[in-house]
Structure 1
Amino acid sequence: MKKVRVYGILVIVFVVSISLISWFCDKKKDMALTSHKKASKSFVVSFDSTLVSAFYAKYPKLVLYKKQVVSLYQKNNYDFIWYDKKGRKETADVIYNKINNLNLEGVLAKVPYKDVLDGLFLKASAKPDLDTELFLSNYYFFYVNKTLQGIDSTKMKELEWYLPRKKQSYVGYLDSLLVDPKLIDNKEQHISQYYKLKTVLQRYRDIEQKGGWDSITVPKDFVAIKPGDSSDVVAKIRTRLFLTGDITEDSGKRVYGNALQQAILKYKKRNGFTLDKTILPKHLDEMNVPVSERIKTIMANMERCRWISTDVTKAKEFVVVNIPSYSLTYFKEGKAALVSNVVVGNTMNKTVIFSGMMSYIVFSPYWNVPTNIIKTEILPAMKKDKNYLSKHKMEWNGGNIRQKPGPSNSLGLVKFLFPNTNNIYLHDTPSKSLFNSEKRAFSHGCIRVEKPVELANLILTDDKHWTPEKIDKAMHKGKESWYTLKNKIPVYIGYFTAWVDDDGTVNFYKDIYERDQRLTSMLVEE
């Protein structure tokens, strides 16, 4: 009986122990669940979508970004994206710092409601704040639109810029930034020229902060300064060129000696002047352009860089024409294989800023005279001289006029076609002397190339059908012949008034179509 009684007591103790253990486990779970619920209440995951419209009613200057912001939150089910349980995310601080340093990116636009953002951002609360959340989203799009995308496409067309624009989803881009904020400083977001201009921008701002440069005044009877001349003006020129790094030392000497002569050649080269050592009034006028204006020019060209896809430079070969510098560069395997002077359209017949695919080379071409030239130039000339057509080796072709192939043909011995609605192409010219001019805006819109033979040979180097001898023969055959390129070559016609070489030298070119000021005003309006 005692054994049975002891056994019963042990069973009771075991059952009670199991019950107590179960009770403690359930209690622990309840406590954990309660703690989780409290934590959940301290971090609101999402917000009411109707509050977005209320935000824009309160801050109407940000409505420009409403479409992108709504798209962002629809994608994220109206969850808070700038906060987590630890508080405001690191990416939020990165965007805020970038907004505070927009000037480093050459952005002129004012930040709307900046004082409000500053006040919200100084709050140390870890709890999500809807105004701060929506401000950050709006300023994220403000930042990427200004620094990555640039002005909208409609304004680009007002500036007659028709190069293809890079496309990117900045809603998707934010996903990457939230994971790794350092991606915002990735130097593959723009073409390399953007970052070169950015470096030069800081250099010129440093010059401005130190007082810039004084205007160089000369006597009314000033004509020129030549090597060996001595005057106070020479000393002022030396100081001016020292500030921009064209000469390494400001000795204060009044004599136009060898060191300053070399500096003048460097200055002329990077400002598009004929390379001689004589200093004329026009050279001093260029030196007197205030540093503040140079800074605006740099920023305008940084903006142009924003419009260009980085894919442009990834092609195996491509051609770039820069209108203000009157230059053509043929790139192959990432390197400049040829640089040639060009003649571009005059101010009445501006060369269009666009791109195309070079598909044909035409040897010994006819020149099919455009209708407007027939009406405004040839027909009036024919009234004065009935033999005008024969004298210029022209003939009627149906209802139009064309010039026969040959050395005197206005297109020269070869033309390079990239079919386009603008009827613009690259071509040779018999008027070689025009390439010696500083200003080379003389054409009716097409682009005359100083080195067409070299360009043709380089393009056809890898084509077994052609040799330099065959190319020369085709050019001088006097009979038009077309050749279809096996690989089409991208041609980009751009407009850059400031350009930085690989060695960091900045070049400034005349704004021949007067587009910089219009662009700068648009950037301020933005």
Structure 2
Amino acid sequence: MSDLTRRRLLLSLAAGAAAAVLPAGRARALAVVTGFRLGVAEAAAQDAVLSAFYRGRNFEPLWAGNDPVEVARRNALLSAMAETPLHGFGTARHDPQALLRLLTEARTPYDQGRAEVEMSRALLRLASDLGRGMLVPGETDPHIKREAMAADPLALLTVFPSEDPEVFLRDLWPRTPEYARLLRERMRLDQVIRAGGWGETVPGGRLEPGMTGTAVLRLRDRLIAMGYLRPTARARYDAALAEAVSRFQADHGLEPDGIAGDGTLREINLGPAERLRSVLVALERERWNAAPRGQRHIWVNLPDFSAEIVDDDAVTFRTRAVIGAVEEHRQSPEFSDQMEYMVINPSWFVPRSIIVREYLPQLQRNPNAAGHLRITDSAGRLINRAAVDFSRYSASSFPFAMHQPPGPNNALGEVKFMFPNPWNIYLHDTPARDLFAREVRAFSHGCIRLQRPREFAYHLLARQTDDPEGFFARHLQSGAETRVDLEEPVPVHLEYRTAFTKVRGGLQFRRDIYGRDGRIWEALAARGVEAAPLQG
């Protein structure tokens, strides 16, 4: 269709719609309305949603006009756009001044029609950013296996005219307690930056109780500015300073030993602008995953190396965890699913990726390597290793499976917790107990190992048996591999939060072990986001 033909068609639609609502003979009024509707029709034709919306209302204005309702809609949208920097959006992305200029400069009915559509386009852009975030999760990092949910744009436009515009726009952003707390902490960091930060950084080197000197004074002053220590003139690294260091360490995922070593000082010396970046990333992540997590759910925060059971927003069970190693092919992914069952005395069926990457080279050097694993053919029959020339096979042609039967040395330990997913990720026990004593616990092939798997099982089973410990012990002592279904599947969320709040106020920070939040920040910064105080 040529541009001329398309324009004539749009003009015909606009004129027909005007004629349907105007009395005959009002030629001048008809021309004005037709010009407006032509502007609407042409501008909306660039977008299927906007085109359908305006056709459905006969090209009637949603924003244009001096009716109090229309004025209220315009003011509410412009105000909501002005508040978007609070949510961590770049000022140019939702610029109310630019939209206001467009409105005031639209002198002809045709231009006013085009400005009308731009208002609706701005609403949809705002709703999308607030409701699902600016970024596409998987495009920032392939290990983020989630899709942000968003309201249907046509339904949103259709409902908006019948709603209170201020309430409607305020409800676009996530209504989760975490999002609200992150916004408060964002504003608190704004105040810190405006006030000049937390003072001088602390010189490197190990600081510990009993010491004095310039470094100790700077450590004291910085912790006072951060709120970890009450104002004091004491110049010695005393018990109060050690306790403040311990509290800081606990809030930053460090071993709370009260000694300010290199790792602790590195975290203490990070400024409020760097912390604000983490909060802005956390706000974007919360927009990705703002759907209800479940009255009871399991929360695994990968950088925190922890797994929790949460009931009615209260943590009722917590354990240390080991996550995937930092190598690209071993990192734990991020996704949400439903935990459906546990397996007591599990077998370990080795994922093919591990077989061909790790065990095939070993078998090619020594057919008796990895003797704790059984090798079976496609029919499940045990093969004779001595009768196989493993050097004949490549990663793509290796025809065998490998598994480890239940037992005290099984890689999955006593129990695994299953939420079937395409990435073969689950929670499980492990015989490698020493790893839980480490501060950084990234050693697995991607699955989540639990320090207290029995207690985790008891907590889940308590809702379906009066004696969870006895129930578990009987199946464990049988030695048989036993599947136990959860009568109520439990949502499980594998998340990656380097900044998160405490329910009673305050922030927790964790190191960006996989570098994912750094990549998210780069993508946000490319869209104009700044770790700077709000204007005004």
- Give the TM-score normalised by the residue count of structure 1: 0.81
The alpha-carbon deviation at position 465 of structure 1 amounts to 8.1
Contact 1:159 1:515 in 2 (8 A): no
In 1: Cα distance, 2:165 partner to 2:31 partner: 26
The alpha-carbon deviation at position 424 of structure 1 amounts to 0.7
What are the within-5 Å matches in structure 2 for residues 16-35 of structure 1?
Answer: none
The alpha-carbon deviation at position 250 of structure 1 amounts to 3.0
Moved more, 234-243 or 85-94: 85-94
**1:198 alignment counterpart:** 183
Give the alignment partner of residue 50 of structure 2, picking from 56, 63, 69.
69
State yes or no: 1:318 paired with 2:303: no
Distance 1:478 1:387, change over 3 A: farther
The alpha-carbon deviation at position 321 of structure 1 amounts to 0.9
Give the alignment partner of residue 273 of structure 2, picking from 287, 292, 295.
292
Gaps spanning 5+ residues in structure 1: where? 1-32, 57-62
**2:207 alignment counterpart:** 225
- CA deviation profile, 1:206-230 (whole Å, cap 9, x unmatched): 11111123452426xx3x2112221
Distance 1:130 1:51, change over 3 A: closer
Give the alignment partner of residue 108 of structure 1, picking from 72, 78, 90.
90
Aligned length: 477
- CA deviation profile, 1:326-356 (whole Å, cap 9, x unmatched): 1111123443221111111112211111122
The alpha-carbon deviation at position 109 of structure 1 amounts to 5.7
Moved more, 500-509 or 107-116: 107-116
Gaps spanning 5+ residues in structure 2: where? 1-21, 378-399, 528-536
> Which amino acid in structure 1 is aligned with residue 347 of structure 2?
Y
In 2: Cα distance, 1:372 partner to 1:159 partner: 17
Contact 1:190 1:305 in 2 (8 A): no
Give the alignment partner of residue 281 of structure 1, picking from 262, 270, 277.
262
**Corresponding residue SS for 2:219:** helix
**Corresponding residue SS for 1:517:** helix
In 2: Cα distance, 1:54 partner to 1:188 partner: 27
Distance 1:258 1:154, change over 3 A: closer
Contact 2:133 2:148 in 1 (8 A): no
The alpha-carbon deviation at position 505 of structure 1 amounts to 1.9
In 1: Cα distance, 2:285 partner to 2:137 partner: 14
Give the alignment partner of residue 162 of structure 1, picking from 113, 122, 145.
145
The alpha-carbon deviation at position 113 of structure 1 amounts to 7.0
> Which amino acid in structure 2 is aligned with residue 204 of structure 1?
L
Contact 2:43 2:117 in 1 (8 A): no
**2:219 alignment counterpart:** 237
> Which amino acid in structure 2 is aligned with residue 138 of structure 1?
R
Quote the sequence identity (%).
25
The alpha-carbon deviation at position 167 of structure 1 amounts to 3.1
State yes or no: 1:94 paired with 2:73: no
Moved more, 74-83 or 127-136: 127-136
Distance 1:175 1:43, change over 3 A: farther
In 1: Cα distance, 2:85 partner to 2:492 partner: 33
Give the alignment partner of residue 180 of structure 1, picking from 164, 173, 177.
164
In 2: Cα distance, 1:280 partner to 1:244 partner: 18
In 1: Cα distance, 2:157 partner to 2:233 partner: 54
Distance 1:374 1:198, change over 3 A: same
- CA deviation profile, 1:127-175 (whole Å, cap 9, x unmatched): 9933542332222223222222213547547453223532312443355
Give the alignment partner of residue 351 of structure 1, picking from 310, 315, 332.
332
Distance 1:374 1:133, change over 3 A: closer
In 2: Cα distance, 1:159 partner to 1:383 partner: 32
> Which amino acid in structure 1 is aligned with residue 503 of structure 2?
D
State yes or no: 1:147 paired with 2:133: no
Moved more, 379-388 or 138-147: 379-388
Moved more, 198-207 or 515-524: 515-524
Distance 1:169 1:380, change over 3 A: closer
In 2: Cα distance, 1:272 partner to 1:141 partner: 39
Contact 1:190 1:306 in 2 (8 A): no
Contact 1:106 1:198 in 2 (8 A): no
Contact 2:303 2:511 in 1 (8 A): yes
> Which amino acid in structure 2 is aligned with residue 303 of structure 1?
E
The alpha-carbon deviation at position 278 of structure 1 amounts to 1.0
The alpha-carbon deviation at position 73 of structure 1 amounts to 2.1
Distance 1:153 1:228, change over 3 A: same
**1:482 alignment counterpart:** 483
Contact 1:297 1:497 in 2 (8 A): yes
In 2: Cα distance, 1:238 partner to 1:154 partner: 40
**2:193 alignment counterpart:** 208
Contact 1:363 1:480 in 2 (8 A): yes
**2:119 alignment counterpart:** 136
Contact 2:323 2:449 in 1 (8 A): yes
Contact 1:148 1:190 in 2 (8 A): no
- CA deviation profile, 1:362-411 (whole Å, cap 9, x unmatched): 00111122233334444555577776544xx4333333222232222111
Distance 1:473 1:111, change over 3 A: same
**Corresponding residue SS for 1:293:** helix
In 1: Cα distance, 2:517 partner to 2:140 partner: 14
The alpha-carbon deviation at position 423 of structure 1 amounts to 0.7
Contact 2:302 2:494 in 1 (8 A): yes
CA RMSD of aligned residues (A): 3.3
Contact 2:340 2:486 in 1 (8 A): yes
